[in-house]
Amino acid sequence: MRLSVNIDHVATLREARGGLEPDPVTAAHLAELAGAEGIVCHLREDRRHINDRDVRLLRETVKTKLDLEMAATEEIIRIAIETLPDMVTLVPERRQELTTERGLNVSDNQRYLKDVIKEFHKHDIEVSLFIDPEPDQVHASAEIGADMIEIHTGEYANAASHEERERHLEKIRSMAALGKELKLGVNAGHGLNYVNVGPIAEIADIDELSIGHAIISRAVFVGITEAVKEMIRLLKVPHR
């Protein structure tokens, strides 16, 4: 299973002081050297962490795959087309949220999202949709021409009991299989860490995991190179 590293929270730390350090572009370079197969950054409308300069330099320096997370707004769509990341992941966005709280409601916004996907495809940019593990959202994603889905694993990660966690895990497993049946690429992410990633990594229908906060948090103690390597080892080890 592939690992893409989200470097947003390196920028969060930088913005806490309003200076230049730490640099998320440097973090992306080190993550790639450690074995990450992709770099993820979220250019939010409020620019609370990643900014336009970061996106531009990441496009110039990332050697694996650059995934730009974004809301499907006119301004950010324009920036994405000017920057030409390898792929975009469309997510819902609210200014009040600390992090993305839910999946994109694809089934209720098919016409608009279909047009957005067509526009990105004109520029050879692949499109992933960040969705909750629900069958209507998976079907809608396939119907409007998405290349892949990213299954929101937040409820699994935040489950309060073993039974609840297993219930969410089964939903993720089932929706990953459905995505494959519908010829979609299947990624997953949100809230995954060194403790809970194992069962998700066992799901054969998931191609790639996007993990950020846990890796950046671990990097505070061991450095980003070791933090990425530790996560990659967990993704490669059979857990059962």
pLDDT tens profile 1-29: 999 999 999 999 999 998 999 999 999 99
C-alpha 19/C-alpha 93 separation (Å) is 25
Q: What is the CATH number of the domain that holds 90?
A: 3.20.20.70
* Of 9, 29, 42, 152, catalytic: 42
> What is the Cα Rg of the chain in Å?
17
C-alpha 38/C-alpha 121 separation (Å) is 20
User: Between 220 and 237, whose confidence is greater?
Assistant: 220
**Is-catalytic flag, 69?**
yes
Is the pLDDT at 186 greater than 60? The verdict is yes
Predicted pLDDT at 238: 61
On the 0-12 / 13-18 / 19+ scale of CB atoms within 10 A, 87 is buried
Is the pLDDT at 100 greater than 60? The verdict is no
Is the pLDDT at 96 greater than 80? The verdict is no
Tokens of 238: 């059979």
* Of 32, 69, 126, 208, catalytic: 69
pLDDT bucket at 93, cuts 50 / 70 / 90: confident
Is the pLDDT at 218 greater than 60? The verdict is yes
Domain carrying residue 161: 2-236
The model's pLDDT over 101-111, given as tens digits with 9 standing for 90+, comes to 689 999 999 99
**Inter-CA distances, 48 with 9, 37, 87, Å:** 10, 25, 21
C-alpha 66/C-alpha 62 separation (Å) is 6
Predicted pLDDT at 236: 87
Work out the mean pLDDT of the chain and round it to a whole number: 95
Q: Kindly report the pTM of this predicted structure.
A: 0.94
**Is-catalytic flag, 213?**
no
pLDDT bucket at 99, cuts 50 / 70 / 90: low
**Is-catalytic flag, 190?**
yes
Q: How many domains does the chain have?
A: 1
C-alpha 222/C-alpha 218 separation (Å) is 6
C-alpha 140/C-alpha 101 separation (Å) is 20
C-alpha 168/C-alpha 153 separation (Å) is 8
C-alpha 150/C-alpha 42 separation (Å) is 14
Under DSSP, is residue 202 helix (H, G, I), strand (E, B) or coil? coil
Which H or E run contains 130? strand 126-131
Per DSSP, 204 falls in state T
Under DSSP, is residue 43 helix (H, G, I), strand (E, B) or coil? coil
The model's pLDDT over 118-163, given as tens digits with 9 standing for 90+, comes to 999 999 999 999 999 999 999 999 999 999 999 999 999 999 999 9
